[in-house]
Amino acid sequence: MSVKLGVGVSSQADVVAAGHEAAGQVISDLGGRRPDLVFVFCSIRFANPRMLKAVRSVTGEAPLVGCTDAGGIITAGPKRRSVTVIGLLMKDCACVTAIELHLSIAPRAAGERLAAALMRQAGLAGREALRDPRCVLVFPDGLTASGSEVLSGIDKKLAPNVLVAGAMAADDLFFQRTFQFYNDEILTDSLPGVLLCGDLKVGIGVRHGWVPVGRPRRVTRSSGNVVYQLDRRPAVSIYEDYLGLKRAELTQESLASVTLTYPLGTEVPGQPEYLLRDAIRVGQAGSLICTGDRRWKPRNKRPATPRTN
């Protein structure tokens, strides 16, 4: 197994200069060699075809995937309003990429199609390394679809030993429109993904540090990523009670700016931390529309019945 990683970051105001600088740092990290796979994550202000063109003029024609973000965390620490380029130089392993458009129409079906396309490409490529799929990385639009639905679709088409990781695209906390990157294209409402195969050891770790506040509430009515009632009251009342905000204020202003600081937390059996759900807007009758389903759905297990703090 051999995977060498190069990372570059730039905050230059000019999108072309930023793309060149970040990509150049990647090449330097890789000892002057061009990567086999490229990831790009950036502030919404850098979501420009000229930025991607600048990156690829340095990194070459390697597959490129990524998305806009709300900030990045690299070895040097957290970064905002920047471009981050990551390049992978691989030996005894390989990758294939795919993308699905119009994600919001049927997120679960899009996840199924993406996973199937990745596995199909790996099977057709004829390379030895691609016969051993290990991990799928996905970066779906974070505002147009439920991430839980996307993952459910992906899981349906993958073997249990193939791990899934990634992130949902963001837009610097404006909660208006996100963008996804696929080679030279900048898209929205889409689902790009990468399948990593071969002699790889993959591990995934997630922690957040939030602790519960107040007494638990029980979800008394929900559907998918919409929570209608907590303790038989409109779900939005939890924010009205704790923060002293009126429903009209929460409806008119972006609820997401509040829930980033005070997310909903769901108990997960056997886990030390709560599963977090951010509500991005208030729906009909005071419901909360979240970025993912309120139920925890472990792979190949029945979902739990949680309580919410």
**From residue 274, how far is each of 33, 58, 84, 287, 290 by CA, in Å?**
42, 42, 29, 21, 16
Give the model confidence (pLDDT) of 101-157 as tens digits. Answer: 999 999 999 999 999 999 999 987 667 778 899 999 999 999 999 999 999 999 999
Give the model confidence (pLDDT) of 87-97 as tens digits. Answer: 999 998 999 99
Element (H, E) at 108: helix 107-125
**CA 48, 51, 56, 62 torsion-angle sign:** negative
Query: How far apart (Å, rounded) are the C-alpha atoms in residues 220 and 215?
Result: 15
The predicted pLDDT at position 299 comes to 53
Residue 232: strand, helix, or coil:
coil
Domain boundaries, the chain: 2-198, 217-308
The predicted pLDDT at position 50 comes to 98
Q: Which tokens belong to 284?
A: 């009909």
**With a cut of 50, which residues of the chain have pLDDT below it?**
300-309
- Smallest CA-to-CA distance from 139 within 175, 109, 182, 106 is with 182
CB-CB neighbours of 45 under 10 Å: 16
Query: How far apart (Å, rounded) are the C-alpha atoms in residues 295 and 223?
Result: 10
Q: Which tokens belong to 9?
A: 């970051």
Query: How far apart (Å, rounded) are the C-alpha atoms in residues 87 and 4?
Result: 8
